[in-house]
Amino acid sequence: MRNGINWIGIDDSADKWTIAQYSGGQPAPTREFELVPSESGYRKLIGWLKQLDGEVWVVYEAGPCGYELYRKLQQKKIRCEVAAPSLTPRRPGERVKTNRRDAAKLAKLYRAGELTLIVVPDAAHEALRDLVRARRAVQRDLLRARQQLNHLLLRHGHRYRDGRHWNQRHWQWIASIELPHADAQSVIVETRLMIEQRIEQLRRYDGLIEEAAGRPQYAPYVRALTALRGIDTLTAVSILTELGDLRRFTTAPQMMAAVGLVPSEYSTGDQVRRFGITKTGNTHVRRLAIEAAWHYQRGASAGITVQRRRRDQSPVIIDIARRCDARLNRRFHRLTSRGKPSNIAIVAVARELIGFVWAIGQQLEFNRETKSSS
């Protein structure tokens, strides 16, 4: 317990801040009050923090309000940190939750060192992450619109059996359909228009992400990661924006745990029980890793596209990528030959793929201005 420090917990919401102050090791809050998150509120908060005697340590939980509070306090040379809300300790018996209690609990847990703190991205890095996430949202909208159109046609007895969906031939087939009722036909027209708009929007986002990937602070990192099979420019930029500097993970298993690809476990005494993966941490990177892992089920050699990406790469990066090819292909076939379903085997492959991503990350000097949250 460190005396002489003012521990400040803030419950940050859209309408108000609820603030709790603990001085040193005192068991009860020294002060509790509320402020409106506005320019006037910032002036009052910063003025109050600066007039406190001793050191000031401020903490709040990451949430929908983002990192504006963190950045404004840091600009004024006030120590502020952000806690991961999913890892904040909670007592099983607690059934009362209020803003005041949350602020006080944050301050006490911060004082006790029980909070898991995240690395806050700078504004430029967060903007790139917003771009990647916006592209992902458009992709989800496109998938839903296509499903909606498919289901509508099925309900009216139209089934496409002449090959793959959503190619030119499939679009021509859709355009030739005329439903007997004008209302249903209007739905087809509007859904087709929405799909076309989302496809065009997706192209624009892809162009912007490709442009960002070529910037000096990102290009070496993206280029190195694309030496791995299953990881293209979009996937590499997504990993970069979501996880940031991979060297902050001291071991590969630590990074695997950060994306929820390690087995959950409930062990007591001599009894050891393991279950499926934890599915905690970064959902987007976990999904990308599993998608990329499917590339390792066929053969252990890289195709022409991947070989082209590996040209002029450093020998260390190429060696990591080739060892990844051989190991992950062998891992997949060993698991499936023992009777494991392919979807379970591929998760194990994805976990090891994250290990190779980590290994490449250790070889690169990451731009310190592009740190990201965990």
Residue ranges per domain, the chain?
5-112, 123-213, 219-367
What's the pLDDT at 368? 45
Query: Residues in the chain with pLDDT < 50?
Result: 1, 368-374
- Nearest residue to 238 (alpha-carbon basis) of 255, 253, 218, 258: 218
CATH 3.30.420.40 fits 5-112, yes or no: yes
The pLDDT of residue 242: 93
Q: Quote the tokens at residue 214.
A: 């070529």
Q: Strands, E, within 130-232: which ranges?
A: none
DSSP result, 335-354: HHHTT--HHHHHHHHHHHHH
Q: From start to end of 46-172, where are the E strands?
A: 55-61, 79-83
Each residue's pLDDT tens digit, 236-293? 999 999 998 888 899 999 999 999 999 988 888 788 888 889 888 899 999 999 999 9
| Dist. CA 253–CA 273, nearest whole Å | 19
Would you state the structure tokens that stand for residue 101, as one six-digit string? 């209690």
Q: What's the CA gap between 185 and 177, in Å, rounded?
A: 9
